């Protein structure tokens, strides 16, 4: 019996040997992050929020991504922001006026405090813009901007290099940072305003904005807790959420399960396959909105001579039943597209509708220089866009009906973009959401002639190149008469449509779901920056 | 004996170097971490400058040499996403995984030993047949499916158990444990069951078959003939000899369990090493991925080496023949 016990003890010791070694190491290891384990007080109005990702940093200028902008709207305030109807509404700037073609004057709200307690003035706006122009991710967007000049404490002039029609839209990206707080050096002797992507920086782990929420604790990738800022300047806001607990749940099924089981109150996005479940649940509400991320396929005219023939390109566009893809693969959770920009954008042309017509496609192929069809290659990501792989497979079978044999390869996004840039295939999938929330941006990146120096056509793997299109886009950039600008951009969309420059598929919808009794309908928008500061929970 | 131990330790060291090499080779084809760190509209030059800064443009040999040099100094590189040393990230995530594995191991031990013994000594009983039938089914259902079914039944339909995460944890000297709070324990139940579901049937069958084999031996027949009480024959004489192969397999399976946590953790958003690894692969956070492979490889190697050495102590014949 004693020996039996010995053997058992050995077995247990083994179990611990697997763990024990690490246990010690964990204790010796560097101090772990501050625990974010305070249970929310019952009395507080708390929003338990699950998104597909959490902010990668606390520095609003370190990365330009949807997740970071959503974070910026919680902890910082922009000068102005998008309203639901697509207009621009005041935030830290309550009024603005164009004082000359290159200058816009912003009048700032007085008495605003940063989370550190420092007062917010025009100086902070100037400092923030200067830092944006240094940020790897934002410098491109702010290239047209010259500088911000404080006139007095509560007036600031923003000056552009050329007259710039999108000045006000871009002001939605200026989230003033606390220049006093972010100046000087941190305890590691590094400047506090450094923008660092892969290493420690003061701004990555500290924040001081003017926004409705203060970051109380953060465990990256696990949980971030936000508390309502006591001195928040916007007393008009009806928002009553005192605490937000943000948990990233990247797995679609787990995120939906967390909402259905009542473990979280609000999720974004809702995967298409679960929309019906959420909709059919009487305790939940679902908000869906047409988005502006277009999913397209580019046909490489350099690597595949067939695509240089406009008839072939048109045949392909006619052969693709993108409404069918929306109905079956996307479960109706997208809008079939015939052009790049969705309704509401400056370049939108109502009559450019999707054109599925198999007969016409066959006829166009017969008229082209490839009446017997041809073979080509294609790549698509399999974890970047909603159902991307299935969409690519559908495309392959659709064009097979007009004699085009496509060999498709899909891969995870981590590998996809290098392959995309190298243009390894004749047909390549790309989705695009314009950072400027404007029509021109699509064409600048996806369809202008490739130019390594200016960066235009950076993602134009179709190598479509039309001087007329370039000319119109460049002219639109310095056109401040918005009606005229709109006409130019609509002209571009018409040319692209005629030329079948690319294969338009659909715009992905946006979706949010929450428990009943929350005013989520009022705080979400087409930019997908929910204004949580204004959220009311009954 | 000393020679045997030294030989095993040298082998273990070789295995570690090979793991490092393979992990590093995978890293090269994993994708481009810089893409994950920059907005889509950042220019190609900017991205290339960042790659230069991170040393990702150096030739493979240079990068691997640097990695070995740093690893020898205990530095497994930095995680791009967490902006911290990879080792630090892994150690912060380790408690979650180890607690999960530990709870599953306990559950497996406590269920498989009695069930396995019972099925061996009363193989014809209905209950034994049910257990064996159930274990066949258990082995063939993938972990993630079990996990999803559990969530569906206990979280969505019944609202009894939380569907994701670790819940409330207590910090003890940097070890965040979920074992000390009711909330934390509640969060542990489903992941533990899901993770056990694969191993439990295996151990029941293993114990049963080993035990049946032992029961055929002459010395057991002799024990019966002596008229010893059944309990003594089964537990002391038979089960003791059953345990040796079970320990060996158990050691190896412990490593496998750590690997299986990847699936379980992903479904439950359990913030452990496995979940971290999957995310690192998706983000092309290559240093973190390699560091994870090295750490898990290290655990594997240590466990196997310890098992072998113990086995060598218990059963001297293996020292001569060499099991591998």
Burial class of residue B104 (count of CB atoms within 10 Å of its CB; 0-12, 13-18, 19+)? buried
Nearest to B31 among A250, A415, A432 (CB): A415
Q: How far is B33 from B280, CA to CA, in rounded Å?
A: 10
**CA nearest to B176, candidates A51, A247, A31, A12:** A31
Which chain B positions have a beta carbon within 8 Å of A37's beta carbon? 168-171, 176
Burial class of residue B242 (count of CB atoms within 10 Å of its CB; 0-12, 13-18, 19+)? buried
Q: Are A52 and A250 in contact (CB under 8 A)?
A: yes
Which chain A positions have a beta carbon within 8 Å of B80's beta carbon? 197-198
Q: What is the pLDDT of residue A3?
A: 47
Tell me which of A340 and A34 has the higher pLDDT: A340
Confidence at A155, pLDDT banded by 50, 70, 90: very high
The full DSSP string for A504-530 is EEEEEEEEEEEESSB-HHHH--TT---
Q: How far is A281 from A261, CA to CA, in rounded Å?
A: 11
Nearest to A32 among B92, B266, B302 (CB): B92
Q: Rounded to a whole number, what is the distance in Å from the CA of A222 to chain B's nearest CA?
A: 7
Q: Are A403 and A365 in contact (CB under 8 A)?
A: yes
Residue labelled with tokens 């990256």: A220
**CA nearest to B183, candidates B170, B172, B196:** B170
Considering only A91-100, B38-47, B303-312, which range has the smallest mean pLDDT? B303-312
Cα–Cα distances in Å, from A300 out to A161, A374, A420?
A: 35, 14, 11
**CA nearest to B163, candidates A257, A249, A222:** A257
Cα–Cα distances in Å, from A97 out to A94, A110, B217?
A: 11, 18, 97
Q: How far is A431 from A384, CA to CA, in rounded Å?
A: 9
Q: How far is B156 from B148, CA to CA, in rounded Å?
A: 10
Contact state of A26 with B95 under an 8 Å Cβ cutoff: yes
Q: Are A312 and A402 in contact (CB under 8 A)?
A: no
Cis peptide before A269 (omega within 30 of 0): yes
Task: Answer whether B29 touches A (CB < 8 Å).
Answer: yes
Contact state of B38 with A198 under an 8 Å Cβ cutoff: no
Which residues, including other chains, have CB under 8 Å from residue A340's CB and lie 6 or more apart? A294, A296, A347, A432, A439, A442, A443, A446, A447, A493, A496, A504
Contact state of B162 with A140 under an 8 Å Cβ cutoff: no
Considering only A17-26, A506-515, B130-139, which range has the smallest mean pLDDT? A17-26
Q: What is the pLDDT of residue A7?
A: 44
Confidence at A246, pLDDT banded by 50, 70, 90: very high
Q: What is the mean pLDDT of residues A430-457?
A: 92
Q: Are A384 and A431 in contact (CB under 8 A)?
A: yes
Strand pairing partners for A176? none
Confidence at A410, pLDDT banded by 50, 70, 90: very high
Q: Strand, helix or coil at B95? A: helix
Residue A420 has pLDDT above 70, yes or no: yes
Considering only A217-226, A345-354, B224-233, which range has the smallest mean pLDDT? B224-233
Q: Among A18, A134, A259, A420, which would you mutate to test the B interface (most chain B Cβ atoms within 10 Å of its Cβ)? A: A18
Nearest CA in chain A to B178: A37
Confidence at B324, pLDDT banded by 50, 70, 90: very low
Q: How far is B97 from B94, CA to CA, in rounded Å?
A: 5
Considering only A167-171, A480-484, B73-77, which range has the smallest mean pLDDT? B73-77
Residue labelled with tokens 């007036």: A155
Please report, in angstroms and rounded to a whole number, the separation of the first and last CA atoms in chain B. Answer: 17
Residue A306 has pLDDT above 90, yes or no: yes
Q: Give contacts of A 223-282 with B, CB under 8 A.
A: 223, 247, 249-251, 253-254, 257-258, 260-263
Q: How far is B302 from B299, CA to CA, in rounded Å?
A: 5
Q: Give contacts of A 355-374 with B, CB under 8 A.
A: none
Cα–Cα distances in Å, from A40 out to A37, A48, A280, B238?
A: 9, 10, 30, 54
Task: Answer whether B169 touches A (CB < 8 Å).
Answer: yes
Nearest CA in chain B to A254: B267
A57 phi/psi in degrees, rounded to 5: -160, 170
Summarize chain A as % helix, strand, coil (round to 5): 30, 25, 45
Residue B161 has pLDDT above 50, yes or no: yes
Q: What is the pLDDT of residue B249?
A: 83
pTM, 2 dp? 0.86
Q: What is the pLDDT of residue A406?
A: 97
Which residues, including other chains, have CB under 8 Å from residue A283's CB and lie 6 or more apart? A515, A516
Q: How far is A178 from A209, CA to CA, in rounded Å?
A: 6
CB atoms within 10 A of CB B3: 8
Burial class of residue B110 (count of CB atoms within 10 Å of its CB; 0-12, 13-18, 19+)? exposed
Confidence at A514, pLDDT banded by 50, 70, 90: very high
Q: What is the pLDDT of residue B96?
A: 92
Q: What is the pLDDT of residue A6?
A: 43
Q: What is the pLDDT of residue A24?
A: 35
Q: What is the pLDDT of residue B321?
A: 55
Count how many residues are written for chain B: 324
What mean pLDDT value characterizes chain B?
A: 86
């Amino acid at each position: 019996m004693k020996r039996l016990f010995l053997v058992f003890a050995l077995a247990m010791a083994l179990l611990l040997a697997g763990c024990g070694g690490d246990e010690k190491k964990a204790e010796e290891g560097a101090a772990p992050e501050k625990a974010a384990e305070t249970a929310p007080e019952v009395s507080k109005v708390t929003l338990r929020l699950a998104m597909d990702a959490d902010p990668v940093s606390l520095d609003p200028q370190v990365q330009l991504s949807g997740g970071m902008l959503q974070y910026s709207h919680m902890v910082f305030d922009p000068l102005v922001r998008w309203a639901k109807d697509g207009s621009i509404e005041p935030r830290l700037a309550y009024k603005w006026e164009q004082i000359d073609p290159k200058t816009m004057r912003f009048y700032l709200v007085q008495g605003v405090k940063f989370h550190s307690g420092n007062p917010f003035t025009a100086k902070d706006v100037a400092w923030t813009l200067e830092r944006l122009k240094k940020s790897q991710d934002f410098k491109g967007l702010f290239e047209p901007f010259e500088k911000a000049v404080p006139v007095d404490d509560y007036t600031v002039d923003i000056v552009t290099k050329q007259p710039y029609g999108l000045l006000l839209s871009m002001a939605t990206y200026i989230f003033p940072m606390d220049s006093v707080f972010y100046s000087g050096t941190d305890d590691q002797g590094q400047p506090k305003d450094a923008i660092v992507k892969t290493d420690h920086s003061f701004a990555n782990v500290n924040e001081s904005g003017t926004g409705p929420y203060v970051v109380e604790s953060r465990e990256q990738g696990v949980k971030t807790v936000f508390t309502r800022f006591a001195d928040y300047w916007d007393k008009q806001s009806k928002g009553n959420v005192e605490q937000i607990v943000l948990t990233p749940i990247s797995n679609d099924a787990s995120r939906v399960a967390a909402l259905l089981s009542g473990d979280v109150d609000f999720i974004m996005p809702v995967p298409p396959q679960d929309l019906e479940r959420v909709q059919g649940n009487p305790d939940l509400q679902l908000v869906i909105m047409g988005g502006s991320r277009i999913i397209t396929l580019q046909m490489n005219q350099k690597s595949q001579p067939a695509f240089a023939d406009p008839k072939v390109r048109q045949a392909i566009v006619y052969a693709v039943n993108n409404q069918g893809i929306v109905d079956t693969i996307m479960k109706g959770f997208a809008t079939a597209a015939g052009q790049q920009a969705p309704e509401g954008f400056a370049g939108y042309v109502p009559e450019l509708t999707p054109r599925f017509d198999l007969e016409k496609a066959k006829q166009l192929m017969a008229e082209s220089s490839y009446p017997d069809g041809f073979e080509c290659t294609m790549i698509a990501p399999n974890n970047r866009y909603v159902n991307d792989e299935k969409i690519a497979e559908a495309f392959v079978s659709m064009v097979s009906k007009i004699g085009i044999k496509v060999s498709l390869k899909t891969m995870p996004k981590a590998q996809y973009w290098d392959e995309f840039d190298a243009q390894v295939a004749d047909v390549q999938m790309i989705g695009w959401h314009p950072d400027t929330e404007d029509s021109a941006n699509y064409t600048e990146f996806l369809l202008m002639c490739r130019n390594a120096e200016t960066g235009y056509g950076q993602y134009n793997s179709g190598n479509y190149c039309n001087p007329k299109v370039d000319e119109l886009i460049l002219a639109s950039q310095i056109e401040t008469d918005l009606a005229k600008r709109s006409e130019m951009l609509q002209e571009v969309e018409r040319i692209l449509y005629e030329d079948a420059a690319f294969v338009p598929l659909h715009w992905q919808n946006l979706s949010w779901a929450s428990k009943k009794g929350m005013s989520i309908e009022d705080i979400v928008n087409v930019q997908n920056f929910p204004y949580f500061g204004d959220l009311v929970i009954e | 004996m000393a020679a045997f131990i030294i030989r095993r330790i040298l082998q273990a060291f070789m295995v570690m170097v090979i793991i490092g090499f393979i992990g590093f080779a995978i890293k090269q084809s994993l994708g481009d971490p810089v893409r994950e760190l920059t907005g889509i509209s950042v220019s190609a030059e900017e991205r290339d400058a960042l790659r230069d800064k991170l040393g990702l443009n150096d030739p493979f040999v240079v990068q691997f040499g640097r990695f070995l040099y740093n690893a020898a100094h205990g530095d497994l590189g930095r995680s791009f996403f967490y902006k911290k040393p990879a080792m630090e990230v892994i150690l912060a995530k380790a408690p979650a995984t180890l607690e999960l594995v530990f709870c599953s191991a306990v559950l497996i031990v406590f269920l498989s030993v009695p069930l396995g013994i019972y099925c061996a000594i009363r193989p014809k009983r209905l209950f034994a047949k049910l257990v064996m039938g159930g274990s066949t089914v258990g082995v063939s259902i993938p972990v993630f499916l079990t996990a999803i079914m559990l969530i569906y039944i206990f979280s969505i339909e019944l609202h009894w158990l939380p569907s994701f995460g670790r819940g409330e944890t207590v910090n003890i000297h940097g070890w965040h444990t979920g074992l000390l709070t009711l909330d934390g324990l509640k969060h542990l139940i489903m992941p533990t069951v899901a993770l056990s579901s694969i191993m439990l049937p295996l151990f029941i069958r293993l114990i049963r078959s080993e035990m049946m084999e032992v029961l055929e031996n002459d010395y057991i027949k002799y024990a019966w003939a002596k008229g010893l009480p059944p309990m003594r024959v089964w537990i002391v004489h038979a089960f003791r000899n059953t345990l040796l192969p079970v320990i060996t397999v158990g050691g190896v399976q412990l490593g496998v369990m750590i690997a299986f946590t990847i699936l379980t953790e992903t479904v439950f958003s359990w913030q452990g090493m496995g979940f971290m690894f999957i995310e690192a692969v998706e983000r092309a956070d290559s240093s973190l991925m390699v560091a994870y492979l090295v750490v898990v490889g290290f655990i594997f190697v240590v466990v196997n080496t310890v098992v072998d050495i113990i086995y060598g102590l218990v059963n001297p014949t293996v020292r001569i023949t060499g099991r591998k």
